[in-house]
Structure 1
């Protein structure tokens, strides 16, 4: 007699949930994904708005991510690459700096910029070489300190840290003091050095779209809000109860699993503002930084400098704000306009949309790159995934989804054999 296929549920249709579904399908199972919103993607989404592609927050794909290389078809995504550098607005001037070994057009502006000393520029080459040779396992087993302490110990001047590292990595880590673990800094810096920052032609949301389209036997149930998960049952907010054999929770588990109630993840938030403009001030595909203290703006970028699936004659400007200083949205928009004019000389903007992303990145300690599949198992029937299990990155979201799914497969194999 044929054994009945176990009921496997995945809570959350973000990157982790989609990867978990793919791994389960490859093992011959047909999971059911329960998603609280009306679409997949989680924190990785793109909205089409007035002829523009608006990503939910300024996000990029680092092409060197091992898990992304494994699970994504880069060619089909039509990746548009950034140059390895940044435009820095300092003292009413605009300076392009970057890695001249990878992009020759940045050689002279980098060499002759006053963003840091010659010693700082030589240290950049030293850091590049050092991290190129350092393995991912070595990075994630290194002693943790703050990124600021790491850069200081490495020998960088306070000028270089404040003019480049602080504004650039604050936008990645979503905190302004470089208090993020040095493991995360080394990992991200290594990934930047070994590949490119890129965006799919159709926006960051093309990533979950591609992953979902590869799924064949997974079923999705949208607008389903889960209340409680236990080993054999999932209770929904509306009182419905679903029988389950195995459940992978890819969202915040403390809200769904009573025993984890006191272990809620803390999150970093940000604001993404989009404006329309007639002209583009940064001509190359470079992120713009404002290394001034107490500014609202962390970084700016013109997504319209890259090829996009949407065609429009207007330029699109993205602005990231990490700390909105408790301003109302209306005041925030006006102050951002004022800073764009004062520090960048950008005027005549038409405001499009503001996104407040309260859970943009998890605040984590003791960061890990990977974990054994067995460690994703919380109880006999519940498994945990999501970047909160490892580190705040797309790579971690993918890896944790894969590991949780493999954990379920191992558990099923064990029960079938016994």
Structure 2
């Protein structure tokens, strides 16, 4: 793969080399189209980027890779990512103490730890088991056709008590949806719950950026152009930031929602969620397993000792701890996070080194009900918009939207 300019005017210009743009460009190339994939930054991936800092591998925000997504199975070589699994389930810190939330359909013995005296009543555990089974085993179409409501309403209708929702489900799902009131579409929740039950949450050996990098490696030479920001979509193609024009019959905007709204005036885009991830280095691991911890107080969304899964994320003899909070980084926030981590891990965090602070604006689209799980990418003749904000806020959603964009571009080309 190189990033040289295509010598012939392309059939389609794709703006943005995140997952959606990569999926779209790959499918169009395989169909025989001449494609230019224009990326404003110095690498592919969009929000899925990994930086190297003083011997540490730091993702731009805590991100895990789910092996169960259909688009992942179709497009990604899992062995090539050298995936390291996290422990199934999470450890939730509640007022009653730390409890382990695990899939009761896969690990019934561990799920028993949630019974009375811990976090769940026997009725709650039965309701959670039934919910997981209903989401896991039937065809996914049953979930996508169900009535849409808030996730909180869906959990209540499933029979979970307020204690179970507030103490376990809300803190866990807050880190998934990046909102703490469980107002996200229940249809999306059920699909996420299904994917978690059917798949494995992993960390790639080279960081989450290895996923888009692998996809980009499949592009033909000359398709990808990095460091090429687009200022405007024009009647004849796109106008680059350097003043040059790139003509194309079709333009696909595969950027974040804010950029898409700028390039396509009048485009309806959702609100987005912001998250900040703090990375700390410790001389010793504060928790001897690769397990996600969640905090029922929501002082932090979640925390994980990444090097318990992938030792190579840090220099030898050092532990790398990732901790995420809702919203942006504010004065004093890092110190507050450090104090809460001392309580969660029952250790002194005063000597931990601050490795990086990553604020991710627009980390996920807000997805209130009723939320369309997929929508057309065509916004005008020869103009398309794709991305997770046009589907679901997930790797699956981004790839599926890019796939749909390519399909609709090709269908339109056949009618011209």
Instruction: Give the alignment's TM-score, normalised by structure 1.
Output: 0.90
- Range with bigger deviation, 14-23 or 129-138: 129-138
Contact 1:46/1:203 (8 A) holds in 2 = yes
| Distance in 2 separating the partners of 1:389 and 1:218 | 28
Q: Secondary structure at the match of 2:320?
A: strand
Match of 2:278 among 261, 268, 273: 273
**CA shift digits 1:148-178 (9 cap, x unpaired):** 1111121111111111101100000000111
Q: Secondary structure at the match of 2:195?
A: helix
Which residue of 1 is the match for residue 264 of structure 2?
257
- Range with bigger deviation, 264-273 or 137-146: 137-146
- Range with bigger deviation, 228-237 or 167-176: 228-237
For structure 2, the residue ranges without an aligned partner over 5 or more in a row are 1-7
- Range with bigger deviation, 43-52 or 102-111: 102-111
**CA shift digits 1:220-266 (9 cap, x unpaired):** 22222222213422122333222111111111321102343xx3431
Using the TM superposition, give the Cα deviation of residue 54 of structure 1 relative to its aligned residue in structure 2, in angstroms.
1.0
Contact 2:103/2:132 (8 A) holds in 1 = no
| Distance in 1 separating the partners of 2:126 and 2:270 | 39
Which residue of 1 is the match for residue 119 of structure 2?
115
Alignment of 1:32 onto 2:74: no
Q: Secondary structure at the match of 1:145?
A: coil
| Distance in 2 separating the partners of 1:266 and 1:98 | 32
| Distance in 1 separating the partners of 2:109 and 2:143 | 31
For structure 1, the residue ranges without an aligned partner over 5 or more in a row are none
Which residue of 2 is the match for residue 58 of structure 1?
62
Contact 1:32/1:219 (8 A) holds in 2 = yes
Which residue of 1 is the match for residue 407 of structure 2?
406
Using the TM superposition, give the Cα deviation of residue 347 of structure 1 relative to its aligned residue in structure 2, in angstroms.
2.1
| Distance in 1 separating the partners of 2:137 and 2:108 | 23
Which residue of 1 is the match for residue 388 of structure 2?
387
Which residue of 2 is the match for residue 291 of structure 1?
296
Instruction: Give the alignment's TM-score, normalised by structure 2.
Output: 0.91
Q: Secondary structure at the match of 2:290?
A: coil
- Range with bigger deviation, 134-143 or 11-20: 134-143
Q: Where does 1:240-251 land on structure 2 (aligned, <5 Å)?
A: 240-251=244-255
| Distance in 2 separating the partners of 1:207 and 1:285 | 20
Which residue of 1 is the match for residue 319 of structure 2?
315
Using the TM superposition, give the Cα deviation of residue 202 of structure 1 relative to its aligned residue in structure 2, in angstroms.
1.3
| Distance in 1 separating the partners of 2:238 and 2:345 | 52
| Distance in 2 separating the partners of 1:217 and 1:406 | 22
Using the TM superposition, give the Cα deviation of residue 100 of structure 1 relative to its aligned residue in structure 2, in angstroms.
5.0
Which residue of 1 is the match for residue 5 of structure 2?
none
**CA shift digits 1:380-403 (9 cap, x unpaired):** 211111111111111010011111
Which residue of 2 is the match for residue 303 of structure 1?
306
Q: Secondary structure at the match of 1:87?
A: strand
Query: What is the alpha-carbon root mean square deviation over aligned residues?
Result: 2.1
Alignment of 1:232 onto 2:236: yes
Match of 1:144 among 142, 148, 163: 148
**CA shift digits 1:157-203 (9 cap, x unpaired):** 11111111011000000001111111111010011111111121111
Alignment of 1:159 onto 2:171: no
Give the 3 Å change call, closer, same or farther, for CA 118–33 of structure 1 in structure 2: same
Alignment of 1:11 onto 2:12: no
| Distance in 2 separating the partners of 1:319 and 1:327 | 15
Alignment of 1:367 onto 2:371: yes
| Distance in 2 separating the partners of 1:72 and 1:193 | 20
Using the TM superposition, give the Cα deviation of residue 105 of structure 1 relative to its aligned residue in structure 2, in angstroms.
7.2
Give the 3 Å change call, closer, same or farther, for CA 114–39 of structure 1 in structure 2: same
| Distance in 2 separating the partners of 1:6 and 1:54 | 36
Give the 3 Å change call, closer, same or farther, for CA 258–95 of structure 1 in structure 2: closer
Contact 1:140/1:367 (8 A) holds in 2 = no
| Distance in 1 separating the partners of 2:19 and 2:66 | 15
Contact 1:51/1:312 (8 A) holds in 2 = no
| Distance in 2 separating the partners of 1:346 and 1:355 | 24
